[in-house]
Chains A and B, each alone.
Chain A
Amino acid sequence: MSDYTLSEAATALRDGSTSSRELTDAALDRAAKSEAELHAFLTLDHDGARSAAEAADGSFASGRDSGAFQGIPVALKDNLVTRGIATTAASQILAGWVPPYDGTAVVRLKGQGAVVVGKTNLDEFAMGSSTENSAFGPSRNPWDTDRVPGGSSGGSAIAVAVGSAVVGFGSDTGGSIRQPAALCGVVGMKPTYGLVSRYGLIAFASSLDQIGPITRTVEDSVTALEAVAGHDPLDATSYRGDRSGFRDGLEAGVRGLKIGVVRELTGEGFEPDVEAAVRHTVDLLSDAGAEVIEVSIPSVDVSLSAYYLIAPAECSANLARFDGVRYGLRRDGETVEDMMTATRADGFGPEVTRRILLGTYALSAGYYDAFYGQAQKVRTVVLREFEAAYRQVDVLVSATTPTTAFEIGSKTQDPLSMYLSDICTIPSNLTGHPAISVPVGLDRHGLPVGFQIMAPALGEAVLFRVARAVEQAVAFESRPPRLEEWT
């Protein structure tokens, strides 16, 4: 029961073969048995989850049906603000903070009767690719507990992979949904920038951040996006246009579609097993009737450089609000400046400190034009190249990550090497385009490989359509080998 997909659980709840209370207890039980090893959660809300589950069951009993999430256990990354449940962004500077409000995505999920089982671990303030940068200790990959689950939404990816939640939500600034989904063998999706309100998402890099779902299936990803997408006046970057039609053509297959393989996202730096799985998947799409074309996006390489100026610059501005005045940690000081500098030095971990320093430098007098300003222009260059590619093809594809899950500690001493591991995912954040990672196989160590599909702005329907075709063609059904130990 803990292994239901969202659509299976929704059906079972409606035909009476299970209750939300049963589903929720099963999810909490799975978490209880696996947490000591995996550390997917920072907070498990047993009482809140059980009372939400009973409320959902009560609604079913009285014939009220508020949508696809009624009674469904969900896990939320701990940078999504939840009223009454501690929200820390995995940082000491917010340890113990209990928000007085819910973020918009959380409001929408709760409004449809979702059951929040807990808040999941992440790299501090979503900065990282391994969930090792959590102030409360790293999470571990359920496929091999010596390895990272990916990051920064590592906790949500684990929770879905092992069945501690039916659906997880994360945030993706440079690949933080897709990369952990790939490394944990689940589906992770980043919508078009602006489609999901960022109100109540603790900001990292505001022009790149986007909330999205982590699920077991592509269909669940569609349903989860439908639940949270939509205009929100509380987010000035929120898209005001139509948001329907994500599901159009979902089962139509890829016959007649043109699929571009990004040349720059192959070759050097990519593990042979990852490349082989991607090539095999492309062949399956070709067999299913798609026309496959090799496409060049020369600026993919420089997009990484632009990203590592833009993201820290925006992070240094956003994290200025953590000053020891209104919430979270405070260290004593003689003057207000002493208090702030002591609080921030103690409250932020090394990765966050590094990025604040990098961003502050890139924005400081004399360097702004050379760094941040130039990076924002390079972003336009990247966007134009992608738009030109999308005039030739319907979607672009690549591996989600150059390697499968790496060993804990293997990259922490070399930040640049960690940053380079995001080469496939970062371009879609710079362009704001949607992208999804679908599991397509295992490498020689038995670790999942993710296949990334990218589409033009608001191209969610074609993105999901191709992802669904990949899912059907590959039929990836493996679950973490040790799952039974945690059951």
Chain B
Amino acid sequence: MPIDIDIAHVARLARLGLSDEELSHYATQLSVILEHAARVQQIDTDGVEPTAHPLPMVNAFRPDEVRPPLDRDEVLAQAPDHEDGYFRVPPHLEAP
């Protein structure tokens, strides 16, 4: 059963600006891969808990202590744009 994907919607959710041609290419490939992956639905998992970590671990607290952070200038030096100690990005909303 081929799986129908609203690929433009998925690309938008993933913040990937793809051309129509690219979208159609990926839609075809994803459909094939998902058809294979959908076989997980054939496994009876009634009453089965999901696994994320193979070792029994409960919580992972560390002491709430102040530690030296990364050097701000060094971090900002790697940013595409910055100003006054902040990362600088284009506007999200129009100015009023």
Contact = CB atoms under 8 A, between A and B. Distances in A.
Interface of A: 97-98, 100-101, 192-194, 207, 233, 236-240, 299, 302, 304-306, 308-309, 316, 320, 323-330, 332-342, 344-345, 348, 353-354, 356-358, 360-362, 364, 370-371, 373-381, 383, 415-416, 419, 430-433, 457-458
Contacts of B1: none
Contacts of A299: 43
Given A207-B52, A333-B90, A379-B50, A360 B43 contact: no
Interface of B: 5, 7, 10-18, 22, 26, 29-30, 32-34, 36-43, 45, 48-55, 57, 60, 62-63, 70-71, 74-75, 78-81, 87, 89-92
A163 to B, nearest CB: 34
Contacts, number: 177
Given A309-B40, A341-B15, A377-B45, A357 B54 contact: no
B42 to A, nearest CB: 8
Contacts of A345: 16-18
A328 B80 contact: yes
A356 B55 contact: no
Per DSSP, chain B at the interface is: loop
Nearest to B43: A378
Contacts of B71: 100
- Interface secondary structure of A, over-half rule: helix
Contacts of A236: 60
Contacts of B54: 192-194, 383, 431-433, 457
A381 B90 contact: no
B1 to A, nearest CB: 13
A357 B87 contact: no
Contacts of A339: 89-90
Which of A329, A348, A364, A430 gathers the greatest number of chain B CB atoms within 10 Å? A364
A382 B53 CA distance: 13
Given A194-B55, A361-B5, A380-B49, A374 B13 contact: no
Contacts of B16: 341, 344-345, 348, 353, 356-357
Given A239-B55, A353-B26, A458-B55, 13 more contacts: A236-B60, A302-B43, A308-B36, A320-B15, A328-B80, A336-B89, A342-B17, A356-B14, A360-B10, A374-B45, A380-B50, A432-B53, A457-B55
Nearest to B5: A361
B56 to A, nearest CB: 10
Given A193-B55, A238-B60, A338-B90, A308 B41 contact: no
8 contacts: A193-B53, A305-B36, A326-B75, A327-B79, A354-B30, A364-B10, A373-B50, A380-B50
Contact of B79 (A326, A333, A373): A326
